Amino acid sequence: MDAKLEKTIEEKVKQTLADVLDVKIDKIKKTSTLLEDLGADSFNAIEILYVLEQKFKLDIPKTVLLKVNKVQDIVVYLEKRLEKK
């Protein structure tokens, strides 16, 4: 995947997390965990999923929530999905 597109995906994910979780964007790292580091709960996770679906114009199955633990996991998932588009 194009490095520039990869960076854009990461930036959009971080901005979404910052907005939904009310966390400063500079505190969000690729290795940050959603639950422990960023304080997300199950309601936040659903909201994050919804916002990402809108931003990337994708349908993201709810089961993905069980598979993502870190910011990087979300970025990798979105990269793979967008490559298939």
Instruction: Compute the CA torsion angle 10, 40, 50, 69 (nearest 10 deg).
Output: 60
Cα 51 to Cα 1, 8, 47, 54: the distances in Å are: 23, 15, 6, 5
Half-sphere exposure of 36 (CA within 13 A, CB side): 7
CA distance 67 to 29: 18
User: Is the whole model's pTM more than 0.85, yes or no?
Assistant: yes
Arch. (CATH architecture) of 3-84: Orthogonal Bundle (1.10)
Q: What is the pLDDT of residue 23?
A: 96
What tens digit of pLDDT does each residue of 1-33 get?
Answer: 678 878 899 999 999 999 999 999 999 999 999
Q: What is the mean pLDDT of residues 30-41?
A: 96
**Residue-averaged pLDDT of the chain:** 93
Q: How confident is the model at residue 6, as a pLDDT?
A: 80
